[in-house]
Amino acid sequence: MRTPVALLLELGVILAALSVLGTLARRFTLSPIPLYLLTGLAVGEGGIAPVPAAGEFVETGAAIGVILLLLVLGLEFSLPEFAVSMRRHVPSALLDVVLNATPGAAAGWLLGMDGIGVLALAGATYISSSGIVARLLSDLRRLGNRETPSVLSVLVIEDCAMALYLPVLAVLASGGVWWQAILGVLAAVGAVLAAFTLSYRWGHHLGRLVAHPDAEQLLLRVLGLTLIVAALTELVHASAAVGAFLVGLTLTGETATRTRAVLSPLRDLFAAVFFLAIGLSVDPADLVPVLPAALALAAVTLVTKVLTGRYAASRDGVGRRGKWRAGTALIARGEFSLIIVGLAGTLHDTLGPLVTAYVFILAIAGPLLTRLAPSRPGPGADAQEGGALAS
């Protein structure tokens, strides 16, 4: 076996750079995702420091990253939590779709994209980043706040909407005549609903198949099963990501909790590689012309997300300050918008750069703005709010 020195060196330098950038971002309670995207841009084609040897690995790693992101999302999903969220927040969820998917769809139409491009862009502006938002709420110590359940409920419903949206988009993006597309969509939606039923009624039995007291065995079994299912769903043009999500859904209870713990470090590594790969796939030269559109779209959907969050919080009887916190918390877009690009980006030249720039803007703006939202009241409220910014 020959050790690929160039690959190891390039990969090592990239990971070291990511770790420095990640630490920097965390210091300011920001998400590291924009910095990962920047790194990808820098080392990609037309960037400042190309990495030819690591390219192939990054590409493979990115595919695994998407699968792990969706698998863990499926593992975190719980039907009872979804049901509780739906009971209270159906109007919030509807408002969320109308307010946030419409600007994306309109932008896609104005930019002259076809139906799939419009659908992809609508999805990219609709979905908040549950990864960034959940982390943010924990970092800012807002989990105990009364507006937090509304924020989390909106996120859970969005994640579930993704479960139906992603397979539909994947099937449509894979092309074919209209009746093939319709059959594909029906099959994909059927598979998701079947997985829900399966996990609800027989989740514990399925869990027993892969459960093992040894962490290594558990990791190998779940990962092996996930990759096989992912490959099969990709084979029928329903996207590997969807297959991984289905596996995550069917595992519940104790097995899901343990799998999450075992997989988390692996997910973090490969998700970083995925963000890197998205940056890598975009030529910085293509980015400049889409910047105005990305900025305008970001500005509009920033406001619409704040409105969504404020409405959801008001349904839970939250006061004025809490409503601002809820609204701003939801602004950040991230991993899902990028996954959507990964599915449909190859079909349109502008879609990839546009959504990358868009996510870049909102993944920075979201955390910054929600820190500006009113919090920590006291006699010297002004001085304290300044302190929260500086710290």
Give contact residues for another protein (rule: CB under 8 A): 76, 78, 81-82, 84-85, 88, 130, 134, 137-138, 141-150, 152-153, 155-156, 257, 316-319, 321-322, 325, 374-378
Beta-carbon count within 10 A of 56 CB: 10
Task: Using only the alpha carbons of the chain, give its radius of gyration.
Answer: 21
Residue type, 242: V
CB of 87 to another protein, least distance (A): 10
User: Would you say 132 and 33 are in contact if contact means Cβ atoms under 8 Å apart?
Assistant: yes
CB of 84 to another protein, least distance (A): 5
Q: Which is nearer to another protein, 84 or 191 (CB)?
A: 84
Q: Which is nearer to another protein, 26 or 376 (CB)?
A: 376
Closest to 67 (Cα-Cα) out of 355, 256, 269, 326 = 269
User: Would you say 77 and 299 are in contact if contact means Cβ atoms under 8 Å apart?
Assistant: no
User: Would you say 154 and 307 are in contact if contact means Cβ atoms under 8 Å apart?
Assistant: no
CB of 318 to another protein, least distance (A): 5
Residue type, 54: A
Q: Rounded to whole angstroms, what are the CA distances from 104 to 52, 204, 316?
A: 34, 40, 28
Q: Which is nearer to another protein, 116 or 132 (CB)?
A: 132
Q: Which is nearer to another protein, 253 or 289 (CB)?
A: 253
Angle separating helix axes 148-173 and 320-329, nearest 10 degrees:
30
CB of 353 to another protein, least distance (A): 31
CB of 93 to another protein, least distance (A): 13
DSSP codes joined into one string, 302-350 = HHHHHHHHHHHHHHTT--HHHHHHHHHHT----HHHHHHHHHHGGG-TT
Q: Which is nearer to another protein, 55 or 374 (CB)?
A: 374
Q: Which is nearer to another protein, 37 or 313 (CB)?
A: 313
How long is the chain? 391
Closest to 370 (Cα-Cα) out of 57, 36, 133 = 133
| CA end-to-end span of the chain | 50
Q: Which is nearer to another protein, 153 or 174 (CB)?
A: 153
Residue type, 138: S
CB of 150 to another protein, least distance (A): 8
CB of 81 to another protein, least distance (A): 4
Q: Which is nearer to another protein, 10 or 159 (CB)?
A: 159
CB of 313 to another protein, least distance (A): 8
**DSSP run (H or E) holding 157:** helix 148-173
CB of 151 to another protein, least distance (A): 9
Q: Which is nearer to another protein, 238 or 313 (CB)?
A: 313
Closest to 75 (Cα-Cα) out of 333, 274, 273, 263 = 263
Does residue 4 sit in helix, strand or coil? coil
